[in-house]
Amino acid sequence: MSGVAAAAAPLALPKRRRPIVVLLRRAWRLPRTKVGVLLMLLLVGTALIGPFFAPHDPAAFANIPYGKPGGSTPLGTDALGRDVLSRFLWGGRSILGLSTAATAIGLVLGVSIGLVSAYSRGLLDDVLMRIMDVILAFPSIVLALVAVSTVGPKLWLIVLVVGLTTMPRVARVTRGASAEIVERDFVQAAEALGEPRAKLLLGEILPNITSPLMVEASLRLTYAIGLIASLSFLGFGEQPPAADWGLMINENQQGLTIQPWGVLMPVIAIALLTIGTSLIGDGLSRASAGIDRTGGE
Amino acid sequence: MTPPVLEVVGLRVEVEGRGDDIVDDISFAIGAGEVLGLVGESGSGKSTVGLALLGHTRRGARITGGEVRVEGRDILGLSPAGLRGLRGKTVSYVPQDPASALNPALRIRTQLEEVLETHAFGDSRAARAARMREMLEEVLLPSDDGFLRRYPHQLSGGQQQRVGLAMAFACRPRVIVLDEPTTGLDVTTQAHVLSTVRDLCSAHGVAALYVSHDLAVVATLADRVAVMYAGRIVENGPERVLFRAAAHPYTRRLVEAIPEMSGRHALEGIAGTAPRPGQRADGCFFAPRCTYAVEACTIELPPLEQSGEGHFVRCVRHAEISALGVSERRPAPELPEPDTATTLVSVRGLDAWHGDRQFLFGIDLSVLPRQCVALVGESGSGKTTLARCIAGLHRDFKGELALYGKPLAAGARARSRDDRRRLQYIFQSPYSSLNPRKTIAQIVSQPLGLFFDLDHRETHERVVATLERVRLNPSAMTRYPHELSGGERQRVAIARALAAEPTLLVCDEITSALDVSVQAAIIDLIAELQREMKLGLLFVTHNLALIRTIAEEVAVMNAGRIVERGKVEDVLASPQDAYTKALLADTPSMELALAAGA
């Protein structure tokens, strides 16, 4: 009983939980989310803390090329004789940093465009969405290759291009989720009060679409990780002698039959990372679907 | 006396898993041709009881006890196949929203045939086709092929509900459950559908359970009425007895909350809210809100006791209370005298469009300071469009709009800050007019931030003062809208409007999404605020009975035109326009229903 009508009525214990907290708690109850978070923590932990435990300098030669595991090189050495374990421990930072930055750029741009599009409707909506469609029509890897081969393999360029290819998908989801919110009376009420448009979009509409956006963000992060790993595999990302998971696969692929660890470790890491982020996304989407069904609580 | 067609004994429905009861100890009987009105406010469990008569529950609920006997046979023990054979054939159901109950992709003929075929009604296709036409004629619909070929979206709301009725009556059921079948319909349509239901039930000897929150509708239709509160039947008796000499305090308060056409009495709401499943304490569930409560009420739930011929009450003091007779009621307060020196808002020759279609034609209307003007009409009459034009939410119009004699721009954003502040709009549904992601304090302070230059402490004080003004506990400030009841949310919406210190409030059907007792409290609040704050009020409603208590002047709208305007007493006493007359005649009214029976 939540009787706040009578000024004198005693209040029952209030449940003051922000809706976003409710979503996170619900998602956490699902086993898939726990597994996803665990994988994510494991790999982010490896990337961030790993370098402190690296036995060798990632760029230093430790043994003969394709050296067998053992001794001071527990996972053997790579094509140039550098320690695989050390390079693996060092190699996660760039991919994580770049993909997070790219996803963030994609989210900010996509959310802005989606919100403006849903709110304005009419011609502006059409123009914005058609532009998004055009970007969507290009395979993102091709777009990235074109940009990189014109300007050169710059890291900021990779982040920007991956961010831009993330943008249209985020914009579509944002627009779809907001289209229904824009019609609601509380938006009309803010409109009648004359609330500034930017405040209306960010204060009234955005908080109501956080659930689909969180799902979309984790999904986009998954794709960004894959895309950036592919770009560094192709040699457009971090440049040698830097340690990078995508680059490691490229460098060691020819020795796969002799010394597989140089390829296997980064492959496993990238796979687990993407599985982790997509499991989190899946957990969030299931939890938010449940929330929508029961109307908030 | 013939045995009842339907008998419910000790029915209990629980929340699955938790074991909290949604409804419990539900017992009643309905005879052939009889209509039992099951009345209750939202959350009282009335729809749960209605569905249980078909052996069905909503997801997450389970029938765990009692019997539902149809012609002596308990249907709760039936197998799923047995239940399927029963539903639609012996016990049928008419849902609340006909538009969502009919399949939009199938023609009317297909849907009607389906019912008959499923239950193998009639021997041949020809017999079924004949029955189909007969059914349509019974519910006063055309039965020609042209009509049968239509899709649901090609029918009006009233016609859709009649098709629903035809489907329910198709296999000549013994029991029919009607779950608020006229809620979404206009009064004129509602009156026709109700008389059809009544005629069909008495002609075919069907036992009907009419579930509704609208006591005036039930009073015109039902023979007997059962009142539900917090999952229990608190009173069950003949309609006349129940509405005139109710023995349960809740029933009495509910009757007092119904707006009267005569408007002699003030509307009084019931403070507090009903306990939800799992939160029901020992004792009478109504005791915390009851003015008659004594210590005995808090010890255990009273049993349903007989109080008179066919009249059962669940109250320890029912004998004393029914002896009280008609209770003393507060007379309706005087309406404030409008200020005739200036005009607050005036509309002249307003035409409005939605796309290519014109919805308003040459509207002239004015509201004086401190005056309440009611704008009455059925859905589609254009009353909301007019209100939205005035509020700056609908820009597609031509004509003059002025505030204190100065022209008002079309859209809210084109208006001056002061014009926006002076004119506040309250929406129909408090469920969608409050942002679910904002706290009550954030919602109420929104106009403060836009219109006044206040520091943090002043804002806080204003919010507290405004919440107190609408009788909300300031502790609600940190809550989110979904933690409040419908009535409380509407108070928050009113508080948001008041925070702007307006001179005109546009209220668009602000009580139509609320229960009667809550409606009464909100109307009472609005009337009081109007008096105290000297507000002009444009009160949009479809409920004629409501305007008498609050409005001084009324404008009746039909098909985009104002067909009649005048003082409320004059228009209600001697309507001039044919449409107003029809509207008045079709509005269900407690007083008329009781007078007719006397």
Indicate whether B205 pLDDT > 60.
yes
Q: What is the mean pLDDT of chain B?
A: 88
pLDDT value at B596 more than 90: no
Q: What is the pLDDT of residues A229-242, one digit of tens each?
A: 999 998 888 888 88
Quote the tokens at residue B141.
């619909």
Which residue in the set A189, A194, A207 is minimally distant from B413, CB to CB?
A194
Q: Do A2 and B485 touch (CB under 8 A)?
A: yes
Query: Smallest Cα–Cα separation from B379: which of B106, B158, B81?
Result: B158
pLDDT tens for each residue of A41-69 = 999 999 999 999 999 898 888 888 888 88
Residue B515 neighbours by CB under 8 Å, 6+ apart: B41, B42, B213, B486, B487
- What is residue A295's predicted lDDT score, i.e. its pLDDT? 36
Q: Do A4 and B484 touch (CB under 8 A)?
A: yes
Residue A120 CB neighbour total at 10 angstroms: 16
Q: CB-based contact (8 Å) between B391 and chain A?
A: yes
In chain B, the percentage of residues whose pLDDT exceeds 70 is 98
pLDDT recorded at residue B326: 66
> Å from A206 to nearest chain B CA?
10
Subunit contact B450:A14, Cβ cutoff 8 A: no
Chain A residues inside the 8 Å CB shell of B355:
none
Residues 252-311 (B) with a CB less than 8 A from some CB of A: 271-273, 275-276, 279
The band of A10, judged by pLDDT with boundaries at 50, 70 and 90, is very low
* Span B97-129, pLDDT tens digits: 877 889 999 999 999 998 898 888 878 888 888
Distance from CA of A219 to the nearest CA of B (A): 24
Average pLDDT, integer, range B418-428 = 94
**CA of residue A133 relative to chain centroid, distance:** 21
B98 vs B184: CA distance, rounded Å: 9
Residue B521 DSSP one-character state: H
The closest alpha carbon to B142, from B124, B128, B126, B162, belongs to B162
Decide which of B364 and B514 is more confident. B364
CA distance B323 to B532: 38
More confident residue, B59 or A9: B59
B491 contacts A5? CB cut-off 8 A: yes
> Which one is predicted more confidently, B57 or A289?
B57
Q: In 10 A of CB A52, how many CB atoms?
A: 7
Query: In this model, does residue A178 exceed pLDDT 90?
Result: yes
- Give the span between the Cα atoms of B493 and B287, in whole angstroms: 29
What phi and psi values does residue B140 have, to the nearest 5 degrees? 60, 40
Mean pLDDT of A170-179: 95
- Predicted pLDDT at A290: 64
Question: Measured between alpha carbons, how far is B367 from B347 in angstroms, rounded to an integer?
Answer: 9
Do the chains contact at A192 and B391, CB–CB below 8 Å? Answer: yes
Say how far apart CA A68 and CA A259 lie, in whole Å: 7
Q: In this complex, is the C-beta atom of A123 within 8 Å of any C-beta atom belonging to chain B?
A: no
A12 contacts on B by Cβ (under 8 Å):
279
Q: Which of A16, A207, A297 sits opposite B437 (nearest CB)?
A: A207
CB contact under 8 A, A19 and B273: no
How far apart CA B112 and CA B129 sit, in angstroms, is 9
Question: How far is B483 from chain A, CA to nearest CA, in Å?
Answer: 7
Task: Give yes or no for residue B373 having a pLDDT over 70.
Answer: yes
Q: Residue holding tokens 């940009």? A: A147
pLDDT tens figures, A242-294: 889 999 999 999 888 888 999 999 999 999 999 999 999 888 888 877 644 44
Taking contacts as CB-CB distances below 8 angstroms, the residues of chain A near B491 are 5
Q: So what's the pLDDT on residue B451?
A: 95
Does A293 reach chain B within 8 Å, measured CB to CB? no
Contacts of A13 (CB under 8 A, 6+ apart): none
pLDDT of residue B513: 82
Q: What percent of chain B has pLDDT over 90?
A: 45
The secondary structure of B186-240, three-state, reads CHHHHHHHHHHHHHHHHHHCCEEEEEECCHHHHHHHCCEEEEEECCEEEEEEEHH
- Encode pLDDT of B123-149 as tens digits: 888 888 899 998 898 888 888 889 999
Which residue of chain A has the CA closest to B490? A5
Query: Any chain B CB within 8 A of the CB of A193?
Result: yes
Q: How much is the pLDDT for A285?
A: 85
Instruction: Provide the phi-psi class of A73: left if phi over 0, else alpha when psi is between -120 and 50, else beta.
Output: beta
Using CB atoms and an 8 Å cut-off, which of residues 6-35 of chain A contact chain B?
Answer: 6-7, 9, 11-12, 14-16, 18-19
Mean pLDDT (chain A) is 87
Q: Is the pLDDT of residue B434 over 80?
A: yes
Name which of B201, B189, B243 is nearest B220 in CA terms: B243
Window 344-363 of B: residues touching A by CB (8 A cutoff) are: none
One-letter amino acid for residue A290 of the chain: G
Q: What pLDDT sits at residue A17?
A: 63
How close does chain A come to B441, measured CA to CA in Å?
13
Are the beta carbons of A30 and A287 closer than 8 angstroms? Answer: yes
C-beta atoms of A3 and B272 within 8 A: yes
What whole-number percentage of chain A has pLDDT above 70?
A: 91
**Residues of A in Cβ contact (< 8 Å) with B427:** 185, 188-189
Least confident of B159-173, B322-336, B445-459: B322-336
Alpha-carbon distance of B129 to B373, in angstroms, equals: 52
| pTM of the entire predicted model | 0.83
Collapse the DSSP code of A53 into the 3-class scheme (helix H, G, I; strand E, B; otherwise coil) and give the result. Answer: helix
Beta-bridge partner residues of B312: B236, B306
Q: What is the pLDDT confidence band of residue B23, given thresholds at 50, 70 and 90?
A: very high
* For testing contact with chain A, the best of B42, B389, B480 (most A CBs within 10 A): B480
Asked if residue B397 lies in contact with residue B352, where contact means CB atoms within 8 angstroms, the answer is yes
d(Cα B436, Cα A142) in Å, to the nearest integer?
42
| Per-residue model confidence (pLDDT) at position B60 | 84
Q: Which of residues 525-544 of B touch A (CB under 8 A)?
A: none
Q: What is the pLDDT of residues B288-310, one digit of tens each?
A: 888 888 888 888 888 888 888 88
Q: Which amino acid makes up residue B339?
A: D
* pLDDT at residue A101 is higher than 80: yes
CA proximity to B263, closest of B530, B582, B573: B573
Look at B156-165, B201-210, B322-331, B389-398 and tell me which has the smallest mean pLDDT.
B322-331
A-chain residue closest to B280, CA distance: A1
Q: How confident is the model at residue A16 (pLDDT cuts 50, 70, 90)?
A: low
**End-to-end CA gap in chain B:** 25
Question: Which residues of chain B make contact with A189, given a CB cutoff of 8 A?
Answer: 425, 427, 433, 493, 496
Please give the residue of chain A at the shortest CA–CA distance from B421.
Answer: A193
Rg (CA), chain B: 25
**Which structure tokens are listed for B300?**
């255990």
B375: exposed, middle or buried (Cβ count in 10 Å: 0-12, 13-18, 19+): buried
pLDDT at res. B598: 44
pLDDT > 80? residue B464: yes
Exposure pattern of A256-292 as b/e (b: 16+ CB <10 Å)? eeebbbbbbbbeebbebbbbbbbbbbbbbbbbbeebe
Across the interface, of A9, A19, A191, the residue whose CB is closest to B437 is: A19
Q: Is B432 on the interface with A (CB under 8 A)?
A: yes
Lateral strand order in the sheet of B305-308 = B91-94, B175-179, B207-212, B35-39, B224-229, B232-238, B311-313, B305-308
The interface predicted TM-score of the complex, written ipTM, equals 0.79
Query: How many CB atoms sit inside 10 A of residue B151's CB?
Result: 15
Q: Which DSSP string corresponds to B67-96? A: EEEETTEESTT--HHHHHHHBTTTEEEE-S
SS3 of residue B61 by DSSP: strand
Let me know: does B315 contact B285? Beta carbons within 8 Å: no
Q: Under a CB-based contact definition with an 8 Å cutoff, are residues B322 and B306 in contact?
A: no
- Which of these ranges, A217-221, B90-94, B496-500, B547-551, has the smallest mean pLDDT? B547-551
**All domains of chain A, ordered by start, with CATH?**
27-289 (1.10.3720.10)
pLDDT of residue B325: 67
Helix H, strand E, coil C: the string for B400-433 is EEEECCEECCCCHHHCCHHHHHHEEEECCCCCCC
A72 CB burial (10 A radius; 0-12, 13-18, 19+): exposed
CB-based contact B436 A15, cutoff 8 Å: no
Cis peptide before B152 (omega within 30 of 0): no
